[in-house]
Chains A and B, each alone.
Chain A
């Protein structure tokens, strides 16, 4: 499989997605925003549609539209008291409807090309895409290194974080923007409709085993890489889209870990209760 140059690029792109996405997803799950990435994927579709219509680079356009969507999203979340998730849903639906409409207006082979962005495609990861994805992933990791502890403190307890001088609104916007960038990083391999899954499912799987936030993030990242490599390999040999395959492997890991650890968790908790009869 690695004899093909496009597969080498696709594999590295998939590893980047599997590595980075759960590191962002763990914060989203902590903030109970597991579906945020899904929404950002919908907004990115509008970016891809706009790129088809204007003849610009889809990855770059999707990146700009997604980050713009992230800012609007945070604005709505902070300013709108009554609308809540309804307003967010409107933005997301607007994204996918706008994306399909713009793609349709672009005509030609745009509709067929859109499928490659919705579900991922092995053969379409160009060198240009590859450089953009790698750069975005490095930027994400650098931002995480710089602001990760502040985002963690904000996710854990926003009020106390604010008293520590952490700019919680800015950190919230930053996290949403990082989710938007992650969506774009993953759209060529996993696809926009499923990229959120590779942010969230490995986290769900990892937390079956872990006792801390840090180990959850690291283990989720490892599961993400495993799923990405496994999914891409299966996709190559069986000739199925890589996105669904990667996500189904991650889901398989989650199911296996959830089933096998449930009894261990119950036994562990029972042991703790027996060791600490007075738990105050």
Chain B
């Protein structure tokens, strides 16, 4: 992991980011910088474009306009993808061919430009599974685990990478309060080592004390960007779908 500080260039930087689906503007003119050594929570109602924004920043969705830089490099030129770890919102559909917990976690350690030895893979996977309390389930089938346990496996998959940018989409969904504490400890450890942790979530919940910065999305833009202490109470738990959001309409249609 690179030990960078908040004074360095942003880990991720977006300028004039615009995203459209079927010619309908979902996000417009987003300017954001995410720095190393910080925990950022992206809040917003369902359909406000939280996941869409992050996916556009990571190149998973096309940008209509704007630019994204990762570690100071244009995303088009960025090659060091092993420095980014991602926990998707959706669980893995493992109901086809059996996939073990170990295989799922170690799948994060496959890079076209970087070879990791089997020994190091095993060490990293075992350590990551221990961090999320699933070290005894490594050989089990992923689909035999509960949704909460599968969510922890996905977090372990990210932890195993030793990346310096972590994007966690709804990391606590379905995870009980006892294990949420474990996740908080894991995230805290990442930030202490200098990582930039971006969490997409409906509410701060158990992470409230650890979040350095909150970004709230609404109406296709950033409606709040600042520390938790200054977050208006009505925004903090605005987890219901915005009835008039463009993304909600698109999803419903």
Chain A interface residues toward B at CB < 8 A: 26, 29-32, 149-150, 152-153, 156-157, 159-167, 203, 207, 210-214, 216, 269, 272, 278-280
Contacts and interface: CB of A to CB of B under 8 A. Distances in A.
A211 B142 CA distance: 9
Contacts of A210: 98
Given A163-B86, A280-B179, A213 B112 contact: no
Interface in B83-122: 84-86, 88, 92, 94, 96-100, 102-104, 107-108, 110-113
19 contacts: A30-B99, A32-B96, A149-B107, A152-B107, A153-B107, A156-B104, A157-B92, A163-B60, A163-B86, A164-B82, A165-B113, A167-B112, A210-B98, A211-B141, A216-B97, A216-B98, A279-B148, A280-B146, A280-B176
B97 A164 contact: no
A163 B96 contact: no
Contacts, number: 101
Contacts of B175: 280
Contacts of A32: 96
Given A30-B96, A203-B97, A280 B149 contact: yes
Contacts of B97: 26, 29-30, 203, 207, 213, 216
A165 B144 contact: no
B240 interface: no
B58 interface: yes
A272 B139 CA distance: 13
A164 B110 CA distance: 7
Interface core residue of B55, B98, B145, B175 (most chain A CB under 10 Å): B98
B92 A156 contact: yes
